[in-house]
């Protein structure tokens, strides 16, 4: 039914996963951090054409809301968000002014490049939603994973990614993605490392909310794969892993008894809190976070 959106509540595993607030509060930061290292060319193109470098978190909040409009909104709401994103993507194209890792100067890039859409957005977003859900909510069955991957390919299609560029099954995705994250093309420029770190660990919130953010930041460190922690230069000890495992287990065990109204739904309230805090900090004269730099 048109009013039920592209991912109906009654049948969509993607929607059930994304409606878990544990997922909604953490998947985006993890996905952005992985996307920057798994697809440096996509990161460069996005950063080079960003018009909101002075207010990076307001930009990210807007992106998060666009994603939620497609995940949860009616078809009409989703289509408006998709049209807006497509207009932005049409502007993100150019050529590298200098070499970037294995890509020589003059290499073309485009936000509509199917390969860059897969490696820079769809794959890290799917993987992050799955990892957060399985770590903090519950493991999915094989059939659920397969269905979720299929729906994420559909999600990519809505943004313009041809389905044929994506691995044809969850098993193929898992093999391809794990191999890619271990490959030589994965790296971070200095600026991407700083921006990725701020994405995960520099989110502006009111002082009252900082204790909660410290907990989320610790969870994010543990949710990142070892290669990501290595590239972002994040310390992680045996004691950290033990503490993370205990905290994740406590969260999973607490999920069934947590009221659904607190546990599930849109994260728009939290997104708005981040955006308003950044606006207040900018008005007070604080410098913006290190986002949007593009040199190699």
Instruction: List, for the chain, all residue ranges whose pLDDT scores fall below the cut of 70.
Output: 1-3, 51-53, 256-258, 260-261, 287-296
Q: Residue 121's closest CA among 131, 134, 111?
A: 111
What pLDDT score was predicted for residue 25? 96
What pLDDT score was predicted for residue 295? 38
What pLDDT score was predicted for residue 280? 93
Boundaries of every domain in the chain: 2-283
User: In angstroms, how far is CA 130 from the centroid of its own chain?
Assistant: 11
Tokens of 59: 């930009």
- Cβ distance 263 to 255 under 8 Å? yes
What pLDDT score was predicted for residue 289? 56
What pLDDT score was predicted for residue 260? 67
List the Cα angle 254/216/139 in 5-degree steps: 45
DSSP 121: I
Alpha-carbon dihedral angle through residues 22, 27, 29, 33, given to the nearest 10 degrees:
150
Give residues with Cβ within 8 angstroms of 186, minimum separation 6. Answer: 37, 38, 180, 227, 231
Q: Tell me: the pLDDT tens digits for 197-243?
A: 999 999 999 999 999 999 999 999 999 999 999 999 999 999 999 99
């Amino acid at each position: 039914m048109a009013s039920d959106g592209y991912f109906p509540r009654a049948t969509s595993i993607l929607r059930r996963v994304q409606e878990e607030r544990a997922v909604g509060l953490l998947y985006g930061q993890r996905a952005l951090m992985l996307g920057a290292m798994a697809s440096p060319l996509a990161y460069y193109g996005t950063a080079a054409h960003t018009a909101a470098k002075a207010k990076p978190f307001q930009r990210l909040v807007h992106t998060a809301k666009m994603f939620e409009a497609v995940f949860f909104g009616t078809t009409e709401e989703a289509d408006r968000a998709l049209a807006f994103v497509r207009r932005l993507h049409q502007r993100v194209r150019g050529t590298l002014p200098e070499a970037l890792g294995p890509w020589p100067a003059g290499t073309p890039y485009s936000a509509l490049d199917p390969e860059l859409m897969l490696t820079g957005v769809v794959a890290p977003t799917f993987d992050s939603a799955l990892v957060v859900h399985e770590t903090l909510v519950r493991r999915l069955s094989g059939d659920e994973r397969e269905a979720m991957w299929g729906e994420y390919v559909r999600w990519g299609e809505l943004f313009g990614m041809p389905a044929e560029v994506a691995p044809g099954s969850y098993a193929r995705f898992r093999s391809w993605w794990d191999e890619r994250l271990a490959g030589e093309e994965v790296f971070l420029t200095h600026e991407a490392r700083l921006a990725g770190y701020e994405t995960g660990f520099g989110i502006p919130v009111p002082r009252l909310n900082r204790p909660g953010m410290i907990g989320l930041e610790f969870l994010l460190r543990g949710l990142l794969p070892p290669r990501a922690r290595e590239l972002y230069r994040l310390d992680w000890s045996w004691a950290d892993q033990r503490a993370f495992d205990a905290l994740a287990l406590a969260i999973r065990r607490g999920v069934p008894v947590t009221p659904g109204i607190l546990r599930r739904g849109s994260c728009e309230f939290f997104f708005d809190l981040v955006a308003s805090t950044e606006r207040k900090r900018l008005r007070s004269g604080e410098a913006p976070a290190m986002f949007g730099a593009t040199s190699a």
